[in-house]
Amino acid sequence: MEPNEFCRRWVDMPPDERGYYKACVKALAQATGLSERTVEGWGKDFTKRPEYVLNILRKEDIINQIRQLVLPP
């Protein structure tokens, strides 16, 4: 799963809102276990991300979906 897609799905604010990029970086860092500084190094649109991150984000996406189904709101 691409970082932008992960953010659109799991960052609870519109992409054009102030602070979205920072919230996205934080969510990606938390999901991947990498530092926020490393995630920022992927560029504004996260195009310089390593390939292995796609698998990690897909797995985190599935885990988040399961949490939504299982855990009460």
Is residue 25 within 8 A of residue 40, CB to CB? The reply is yes
Is residue 42 within 8 A of residue 49, CB to CB? The reply is yes
Give tens-digit pLDDT for 18-50.
999 999 999 999 999 999 999 999 999 999 999
Can you say whether the dihedral through the CA atoms of 66, 30, 8, 18 is positive or negative? positive
Kindly report the pTM of this predicted structure: 0.93
Residue 27 corresponds to which tokens in the numbers above? Answer: 């969510």
CA 46/CA 3 separation, integer angstroms:
7
User: Hunting for tokens 């399961």 — which residue is that?
Assistant: 66
> pLDDT at residue 70 above 90?
yes
Is residue 45 within 8 A of residue 4, CB to CB? The reply is yes
